[in-house]
Amino acid sequence: MKCTFVEVAPESDFSVQNLPYGIYSTDSKPVPRVGVAIGSVVLDMHALATYGLFDKVEGLAAEQVFNQPQLNNFMGLGRPVWRQVRSILQNFLCNDDNTVRKRVGDVESVAVPLCNVHMHLPAQIGDYTDFYASREHATNVGMMFRGKDNALMPNWTHLPVGYHGRASSVVVSGTSLHRPNGQRRPDPNKPPVFGPSMRLDYELEMAFFVGPGNARGSPLSLEQAEERIFGLVLMNDWSARDIQAWEYVPLGPFLGKSFGTSISPWVVTMDALEPFRVAQPTQDPTPLPYLRGPSTAVLAGYDINLQVHIKPHNGEKFHLLTQSNLKHMYWSLRQQLVHHAINGCNMRPGDLCGTGTISGPNKESFGSMLELSWSGQTEISLDESGGITRKFIEDNDVIRLTGYCQADGFRVGFGECTGQILPAKDLAL
């Protein structure tokens, strides 16, 4: 399959096999609307709808749905609709004889260059949940806080541990965040103090957007969950480790996380990720039936290469911090969704579920500075000369997450999730 509508470089994240969805605007058309990235342009889905490209898709009021400032409505339509639209788009992009394509004529009437668009949050996020699904990450953190013998809590191998996060402060890539102020207790023998976090960190995560969801009181099976996940984004779960350490007992992370969570703007659909399915790690003990499903043959993992780079305030270029892969994740995406709804909790289109930090088995694959500097005990060297080091994020550092699936001759990539940490605000409270 080769795109003939626009040129797509082999190393482009946005191949015709990808077709991720996002919400964009331009200076000349400032109202946010639905776009699909291909090569170095964004397809205006509403414009394509007005040409009648999606007229034959049953259940899709394309001119309305693609003129929305969020993808919630499209996410709510379900996988059969998503698949038809994907197939129609691929035909449009690859087939010179496509009827609508002939009518459209030039690219300019339905697409704008990626470099000219402003990206917005892909959805109005009703609820945001974060899981803790990487065994390596949970073990690393557990070892630091509780020692090697008690690293994993007894529940961890029986269920995908998760918690509710803050939806209001999820922001799109490119948004800067101020270092948060808060309570922390650096000296356990003295009272807590107030001020800027001194242990600010990133967490390399991915997150899925829920599609049609479920009614309150009606859980999902694994097979149903498979059809209810719309797609994935990169996520940086910024974490103030000192605020978190002091506040989190016994009810979990709160202000150590809720100052901001960054996601990449392009949602890569599960259909685009199909060719990159792999077996998830062996689960021992065997999970309870509701998390297991009838078939063990399903490949529930995804082979997605993930990187984190830092552009230090005292440097000129980006340096690699983490190189990991989603395939390391112990609990699959569909297990996370099934578990979330098993008590009858209703999931809605546009709900966001993070995976938790995706660390792998080697130190290079640790997905946070907490792990890389082993809780600040060692310096992370950013350049070969060792002149630039970090234990945690410093003011004006930029953190960039990237990710892609590599096939023979094309990529299915996620673009980037980037954010800069600005100095803490001086509060006169």
Nearer to its own copies, 25 or 176 (CB): 176
Does the protein bind its own copies through residue 51 (CB under 8 A)?
no
- How far is CA 386 from each of CA 125, 177, 196, 256, rounded to the nearest angstrom? 42, 28, 27, 30
CB distance 20 to 264 below 8 Å? no
What residues between 265 and 324 interact with its own copies by CB under 8 A?
Answer: 285, 288-290
Interface size with its own copies, residues (CB under 8 A): 67
Per CB under 8 A, 180 contacts its own copies? yes
Largest CA distance in the chain: 75
Determine if residue 226 is labeled as part of a ligand binding site: no
Q: Which of 370, 371, 389 is nearest to 379 (CA)?
A: 389
Within 13 Å and on the Cβ side, how many CA atoms surround 35? Answer: 31
Nearer to its own copies, 363 or 425 (CB): 425
- Print the binding letters for residues 342-371 with its own copies: x by CB under 8 A, - otherwise: xxxxxxx--x--------------------
Minimum CB distance to its own copies, residue 85 (Å): 26
User: Is 24 known as a binding-site position?
Assistant: no
Which is nearer to its own copies, 166 or 241 (by Cβ)?
166
* CB-based contacts of 167, cutoff 8 Å, min separation 6: 125, 126, 127, 128, 352
Residue 253 CB contacts under 8 Å (≥ 6 apart), including other chains? 163, 165, 239, 244, 247
237 marked as binding residue: yes
Taking CB under 8 A as the criterion, the residue among 15, 17, 70, 181 binding its own copies is: 181
Q: Determine if 177 is a binding residue for its own copies (CB under 8 A).
A: yes
- Tell me the three state secondary structure of residue 294: coil
Residue 345: CB minimum distance to its own copies, A:
4
What's the token pair of residue 273?
A: 């990720």
76 binds its own copies (CB under 8 A): no
Spatial separation of the C-alpha atoms in residues 227 and 212, rounded to whole Å:
9
* Residue 76: closest CA among 229, 278, 180, 223: 229
Pick 9 or 422: Cβ nearer its own copies = 422
Task: Report in angstroms how near the CB of residue 139 gets to its own copies at its nearest.
Answer: 13
Asked if 165 touches its own copies (CB under 8 A), the answer is yes
Report the alpha-carbon distance of residue 267 to residue 319 in Å, rounded.
26
Q: DSSP 3-state assignment of 164?
A: strand
Q: How far apart are CA 273 and CA 406, in angstroms?
A: 11
CB of 293 to its own copies, least distance (A): 9
Residue 155 interacting with its own copies (CB under 8 A): yes
Taking CB under 8 A as the rule, does residue 186 contact its own copies? Answer: no
Report which residue type is found at 145.
F
Token code pair at residue 183: 């309570």
Q: How far is the CB of 112 from its own copies (least distance, A)?
A: 28
Active site residues: 137
Does 150 contact its own copies by CB under 8 A? no
Applying CB under 8 A, which of residues 182, 301, 312, 367 lies at the interface with its own copies? 182
Contacts with its own copies in 390-429 (CB under 8 A)?
425, 427, 429
Least separation in angstroms between residue 427's CB and its own copies is: 6
Q: How far apart are CA 420 and CA 215, in angstroms?
A: 39
Residue with smaller CB distance to its own copies, 36 or 177: 177
Is 337 among the residues that bind its own copies (CB under 8 A)?
no
DSSP conformation class of 14: B
**Position 251 contacts its own copies (CB under 8 A):** yes
Q: How far is the CB of 407 from its own copies (least distance, A)?
A: 34
The DSSP secondary structure of 373-422, one letter per residue, reads TTTTTSPEE-STTS-SEESSPPTT-EEEEEEEEE-SS-EEEEEEEEEEEE
| Token pair in block for residue 108 | 């300019």
* Region from 24-32, 217-225, 275-283, 413-421 binding its own copies, contact rule CB under 8 A: 217-225
139 binds its own copies per the rule CB under 8 A: no
Residue 131 pairs in a beta bridge with 162
Q: What are the residues binding its own copies (CB under 8 A)? A: 126-127, 132, 153-155, 158-159, 161-169, 171, 177-178, 180-183, 185, 191-194, 216-219, 221, 240, 243, 246-256, 258-260, 285, 288-290, 339-340, 342-348, 351, 425, 427, 429
